[in-house]
């Protein structure tokens, strides 16, 4: 179990890395970081996304966070925006996050079975 200070430090680090990825981008990913999103594993999803975007050299993709969107039971939520198209993935875990980067962001394939219905 991590101490409160360790969790605060982790949050600050993640926020700094996420800020560095914000800006003018045609492609963006937003992770819902409300209370239930964090409780459901949103921080771990963000960590995987940061690593995957770095590994795949997808510097054109912005990674941001949103607050609660009122879908507790479907957290963690991840929104992928490419131009005018917006897709919301639900119940995203670390493996799904990697797949979304590789299939949706890199190949343009929307993984319909993981999206909000
Ligand atoms: S905190 Fe769960 S839907 Fe808002």
Tens-digit pLDDT string for the chain (117 aa): 678 888 788 788 777 776 665 555 689 999 999 999 999 999 999 999 999 999 999 988 999 999 888 889 999 999 999 988 999 999 999 999 999 999 999 999 999 999 986
Distances (CA, A) of 61 to 2, 20, 73: 30, 11, 27
What pLDDT does residue 55 have?
95
User: If you measure from the C-alpha of residue 29 to the centroid of ligand 1, how many angstroms do you get, rounded to a whole number?
Assistant: 19
Nearest CA to ligand 1 atom 3: 70
Instruction: Please state the separation of Cα 65 from the chain's center in Å.
Output: 7
If we measure between CA atoms, which residue out of 60, 59, 58 comes closest to residue 101?
Answer: 58
Q: In angstroms, rounded to a whole number, what is the distance separating the alpha carbons of residues 27 and 39? A: 27
Which residues, at least 6 apart from 115, have a Cβ–Cβ distance to it below 8 Å? 87, 88, 89, 90
Measuring from each residue's beta carbon to the nearest atom of ligand 1, which residues come in under 6 Å? Answer: 34-36, 68, 70-72
Find the 110 Cα to ligand 1 centroid distance in Å. Answer: 25
Tell me, in angstroms, the distance from the centre of ligand 1 to residue 91's CA. 14
* Cα–Cα distance for residue pair 117/105, rounded to 1 Å: 20
| Length in residues, the chain | 117
- E-strand ranges in 7-106 read 27-32, 61-66, 78-82, 85-89
Q: How far, in Å, is the centroid of ligand 1 from the Cα of 69? A: 7
Question: Quick one: which atom of ligand 1 is closest to the CA of 68?
Answer: 4
Task: Determine if residue 11 is left, alpha or beta; phi over 0 gives left, psi from -120 to 50 gives alpha, anything else beta.
Answer: alpha
Can you tell me the distance from the alpha carbon of 115 to that of 95, in angstroms, rounded to the nearest whole number? 15
């Amino acid at each position: 179990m991590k101490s409160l200070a360790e969790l605060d430090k982790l949050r600050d680090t993640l926020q700094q890395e996420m800020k560095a990825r914000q800006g003018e981008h045609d492609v963006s990913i937003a992770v819902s970081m409300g209370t239930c999103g964090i409780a459901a594993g949103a921080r771990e999803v963000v960590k995987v996304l940061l690593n995957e975007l770095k590994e795949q050299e997808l510097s054109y993709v912005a990674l941001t966070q949103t607050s609660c969107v009122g879908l507790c039971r479907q957290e963690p939520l991840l929104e992928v925006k490419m131009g005018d198209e917006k897709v919301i993935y639900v119940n995203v875990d670390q493996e799904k996050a990697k797949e979304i980067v590789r299939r949706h962001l890199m190949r343009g394939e929307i993984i319909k079975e993981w999206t909000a219905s």
